[in-house]
Structure 1
């Protein structure tokens, strides 16, 4: 399954009534609290087999679906080397 599809499916568990576009900032929409942010990081690590380093814990890496997909792709390409 594609990265975007998996991320969207995870988010929809929490934001089931919201329609999320790839560039929609769900932090700005008020959907995110600190517990959810940690759940999101853990999901990304487990689901995609990557490690989110302290340098990656920038809100801009998790603000939108597109940002999360980009982070995962970057981390996977580094791991593939």
Structure 2
């Protein structure tokens, strides 16, 4: 999961250059996320981690922090591997 956190932080850091984002900081409450960036973030997660993010996954709580995204990925990937 640490590798996932690193990839997520590196991606976000390309867009948020004025703040050293910590793993537990809420990117929505900090005002760093607009609708376009939210879509880019979802697309990045899908492509980088080879997952499909469904409508029911689009809960802010899954994307608020780096830790939340890593936990979400862990849940999605474990579901994917359990089906095979």
Distance 2:30 2:72 in 1: 21
Q: Quote the residue 1:21 is aligned against.
A: 22
Q: Quote the residue 1:59 is aligned against.
A: 60
Superposition pairs for residues 1-80 of structure 1, below 5 Å?
Answer: 2-80=3-81
Q: Which runs of 4+ in 1 moved over 3 A?
A: none
Counterpart secondary structure, 1:7: helix
Q: CA deviation at 1:17?
A: 2.1
Distance 1:42 1:67 in 2: 16
Q: CA deviation at 1:26?
A: 0.9
Q: CA deviation at 1:21?
A: 1.0
Give the number of equivalent residue pairs.
81
CA RMSD of superposed structures (Å)? 1.0
